[in-house]
Structure 1
Amino acid sequence: MTDSVRELSESPESTTVVVIGAGPAGLTVANLLRSAGTDCVVLERQTREYVAQRQRAGIVETRAVRMFDSWGLADRVLGGVPHDGILELRVDGEPHLVSDSDGSEGPTARICPQQMLVQKLTAAYLEDGGDLRFEATDVSLHDLTGERPTVRYRTPDGDLRAITCSYVAGCDGDHGISRSAVPDGVLTPYAFDHGIGWLTVLADAPPPDHPLLAVSEQGFAAHFPRGPYTSRYYLQCPPDDEPGAWSDARVWDALRTRLGDPDLVSGPITDREIFRLRSLVHDPMQYGRLHLVGDAAHIVSPMGGKGMNLALYDADLFARAVRDAVHEQDDTGLRTYSARCLRRIWNDQEFSQWMTRMLHDAGDASNSGLFQRGLARAQLDRLFTSAAAGGAFSELMTGMDFGENAGPRPR
C-alpha cells in the first residue's frame, strides 16, 4: 500500500469551516468565526513570510473599520493611522481637497497597508488558538453539494491529509482552486477590460499629506502613503507596456510632471510592475456548501479602493451567516449570501467605473476623445462645487450608503 493510499484511508479531521487562503478575506473570516465561537481551519499555499509581505491596498474604509469594531477586533487587527477624511484631486496642478467623510459618528477609515492588516489578523488568530496551516499544497474540494464536504491537501512534509466540514470559504483569489472546483456552467462571469494600464511603483520616499489623485494632459497619476517613509505611486500607461521601459529617471520625471510637483522628493524604487485595469464579477458566489469570498468571486479596478474592502464585506456576511446557522439553526444568511454580496459589489463596481472613466478621460484625450474629456471635466467641476455631489461621493467612499447592508454600527 502506498503512503498516499494509506493516508487517505485514515479517518479525516473534522471542523465546521475550512477556509482556503490566508489573505485579508480568509483571515478576516477566520478571526470573525473564532469570535463567534465557531471552529475553523485555514489552509494557505504560501509561507507565512510570503503572505505577510504581499503589498496591496492601503485604506480600510469606514464601513470596514466599524465592522471590525462591532466584533471587538478593531484595536487588535487595524494598524496604521486614522484617515483624516481628506482626498486631494489635483487637476492640471491645481489642488482640490474633497472630503470622503460622511459626517456620521464612529470610527473612520484607516490608512493601513494590506501587509500590516494581514500580519495583525494572523497574530490575533494564532493568539486566540486558531488553526492556520501554511504551505498546504495540492488542495482539492470534494462533495460540495453534500452534507459534509471534504478538503484534501498535502502538508509541507508531503503527507496527504483530509478535513471534513460543514462549509468551505473560498478565499484564495482570482487564480485559486476554490472557484475552479465549481462545475462549468454554474457561475456566470461578467468581465470588463478598461483598456487602461497602470505602472505601479513602490519607493522609499515621503508619503503625501493626503491620498492624491492627479489629472493632466500627460495622463493620470496618483500618490498614496504606504507607511511613514514609504509611498506607492501610479502612472497611467499603455496596458501592454513593459516595466523595464520605465527607468528610475523616467518614473520620477513623469510623476513630477503629472502630479504638478516639480519638487517631488524621490527615493529608492523597491518594486515596479504594470497591470491592466479590469473588473470581474461571478454570479452566484456560492455552490452547495462552498461560498466564494473576495477576489475569488470578484475583481474591481483599484480606483476608489474597493477591492480589499469588498472582500472584508463578504467575510463579515459569511461569518455572520455561519454563526446564525450553527448557533441559531437559521440558514437565512447562508441562503441569501450571494444576493446580498452582489448588491454591494455591483454598486461598488459602478462607483469604481465612474471614477476610473472620469479621472482618465479628463486627462489625456488621445484615447477617449475631446468630447469625453469635456464630460469628465464637467463631472469634476460638479464634484468640486456641488454639496450634493460631494455628499454622494463621500457616502460611496466610506461604504456607508446601504442602510443595514452597509454593515453594523459600533456597539
Structure 2
Amino acid sequence: MNDFAVLWDWLAAGVRWLHVVTAIAWIGSSFYFIALDLGLTKRPGLPEGASGEEWQVHGGGFYHIQKYLVAPAAMPEHLTWFKWESYATWLSGFALLAVVYYAGADLFLIDRNVLDVSAPVAILISVASIGLGWVLYDLLCKSPLGKSDTGLMLVLYAILVVMSWGYTQLFTGRAAFLHLGAFTATIMTANVFLIIIPNQKIVVADLIAGRAPDPKLGMQAKQRSLHNNYLTLPVVFLMLSNHYPLAFGTKFNWVIASIIFIMGVLIRHYFNTVHARKGNPHWTWGAAGVLFIIIMWLSTVPKVLTGEEKLSAAGEAFVASTHFPAVRDTVMGRCSMCHAAEPGYEGIHFAPKDVVLDTDAAIAEHAREIYLQAGRSHAMPPGNVSGITEDERRLIVTWFEEAR
C-alpha cells in the first residue's frame, strides 16, 4: 500500500470537510442577514439614525435587533465583522481544487477528447479563467452598465452561460461544473474582500473622524451583496454536482448549468419576497419545477429514463443478452483498471466506491450504473482516460435497454 496515497486521500477528505464547514458558516450568516434586513420594520420611537428594528425569538430567548444605515451616535467598543466565513470558504475551496483536480489533473481535470493539453497548461487555464472572471465582472459593475441592476444582471447571466459552454470545451464535464462554481464563488468572495468590507471600513473611519461618509460606498456594497444573494444557490449545486453524472456528463451539460442559475434566482426571489413581507409568490416553485423537468429531459435526450431497475432480479437477463460478451470485453478493457480488487491505474489503490467489475455477476449487478455513467453519459471513465469509443458506449446502451 502506498502510504503517501493514503495520506493524500485523507488530506482531500479533511480539506473537503473544512470547505463544507466554512461554506455552511458563510451561507448561514449571509442568508440570516438577508432575511433580517428584509424583515426590518420602521416604527415610532426608534433611536436617531436607526432605520428599522426586528424582534426575534430563538433558543428560549428574545432578541431585539436595530439597524443603523450609517452608525449609532456612539460607536460600540466591539464591532463584529462578518468576513472570515467568506474568506475561509474560498481558501478551503481553492485548496480542494488543488488537492483533487490539480494534483489529479490527468484523471479529473483533462479530457483529451475535449482538449489535449498537458497538466501544467490545464492548471494554468483553470487559474487564469477564475481570476479573469472577477476582473471582467468588476469592470462591468464599475461601467455605466452598473447603474442598471436589471441590465447588469442580464449581461452577467449571459457571461455565465458563455462560461458554462466554454468550460465544457476545456475540461471534463465534472471539472467544468466545478470550475463554473469556482468562477462564480470567486466573484462572490472578491465582492466581500475587495468591495464590501473595504467600503464599510472607509465608512467607519469617516464616522470616527467626524466626516460624512460617501453614500456611493454603501450603494456599491449593496449591489455586490445583492449579486452574492442570488448566486449562492447555483454555486451550492455546482459544488455538489460531481455526484450527479446525468448533470455534468451529458451532451447538454452546459445548458443544464445555465438553467440551474435561473432556478437559483427563482428560489431566492421567493424567500426574499416572503422575508420582505411582500407576498408569497408560489409561482416561483412551479417555474423551478418546470425547469427541473426540462433538465431531466436534457440529461437523457433523446430518451427519458423512467423507473428504478432491480438489477439483482434481472441479472440473468443481462448476462444472457447476446450483447453481453462484447459489453464484458468493454468493461474489462475500459473500466477494470480502476474497478478491480487490485486496481492497475497509477495512484488508484482501492476500487472507487468499492465497485469491482471483474466478474459477470458483478457487471450484471452494476448494469444500471454502467449504463448511466458510461453509456448514457460520459461521466466514466473520468476524462475518458481509457479511450472508450462512442460505439462501445452505444453498445452499453443497447445492451441495458434491451435486457431490462
TM-score (norm 2): 0.30
Larger helix share, 1 or 2: 2
Q: Which has the larger radius of gyration?
A: 2
Structure with greater strand percent = 1
